[in-house]
Amino acid sequence: MTEATTTDATQVPTTPPLTGANDTPSAEPPKKSAANGKASKTNGAAKTNGAVTPETSTHRGNSRAIMTKDITFGSTPAQKLFGRHNGVVSSNLYQLGVMLPIRTTIEVADRVEGVINEYLTKVEEDLQAQIDRMEELMASHNIQDTPTYTSSETYHCEITTPHQARFLRLISLLDRLVLFIDALWLEGVFNNKQRNSAIYDNNRRVARLAGRIRNLANSAKSVLNKGKDATPDDVDASARQSETASDNDDGDEAPASA
């Protein structure tokens, strides 16, 4: 078995990369660009009719802090979640975490950050509790080995906010959880129905979180429009609207098999 493809160490931050559940896939997986990825812009100058034109003449927008990481997901549910939600969630979190604080107040920005942290922490705790439960089941049945996946995928991600990094870690937690569920299934502890139900229920947790973040970003547009006149109460109203919309959404993720 070979390790998942990673980029040159000189091009990647020294912070340990996020990994999926399957750290040693059976074959080297292809590397894919994240849904929100953009071609990097080179520094220097561009030539126009033989004259050197400063690069700043074509530069648009502010220079943003971006961290790149290569993340491997082994299971199909984690891969599908990443493909369907990462790009939108990244954009939503940038709007809420970067643009909104610029246009409103510190108090409003702090309240928005608190709401997002509550959303993320709840799903983190739920997934970790399920992982602990699966590990206990494996130990009680003397299961020590875990499966490998035939089509692991490595994605080149651009991380633009701390909350996006947490969202990606949630998908990694789901990937690890599916790995344990599959181990129990392959060893005969879970039947097909139990496996599919466990995967679906936990997959839906993350999908609904993505929907809640999307709905919060949409409802927070009214907060943005108020600008400096916005208050934390406006954020609470947007959060309630987001939660109502998410509760009415039964989730857009069908049961996925790994």
Cα-based torsion angle of the residue sequence 161, 111, 169, 191 in order, rounded to the nearest 10 degrees: -150
Give me the amino acid identity at 229: D
Give me the amino acid identity at 185: W
**Sequence-ordered alpha helix ranges (H) in the chain:** 76-94, 100-103, 106-140, 162-186, 192-219, 221-226, 232-248
Nearest-angstrom CA–CA distance, 212 and 115:
11
pLDDT of residue 49: 41
Closest CA to 253 of 83, 22, 72, 73: 83
pLDDT of residue 234: 85
pLDDT of residue 29: 52
Q: Is 177 left (phi over 0), alpha (psi -120 to 50) or beta?
A: alpha
Classify 244 as helix, strand or coil: helix
For 191, other C-beta atoms within 10 Å of its C-beta total: 10
Cβ density class 216-245: b for 16+ within 10 Å, e for less: bbebbeebbeeeeebebebbeebbebbbeb
Closest CA to 256 of 207, 191, 222: 207
pLDDT of residue 61: 63
Classify 202 as helix, strand or coil: helix
Q: What is the pLDDT along the chain (258 residues), one digit of tens a residue?
A: 444 444 343 333 333 444 444 444 444 555 555 544 433 333 334 444 444 434 433 445 678 889 999 999 999 999 999 999 999 999 999 999 999 999 899 999 999 999 999 999 999 999 999 999 999 999 999 999 999 999 999 999 999 999 999 999 999 999 999 999 999 999 999 999 999 999 999 999 999 999 999 999 988 888 888 888 888 888 888 888 777 776 655 554 444 444
pLDDT of residue 31: 56
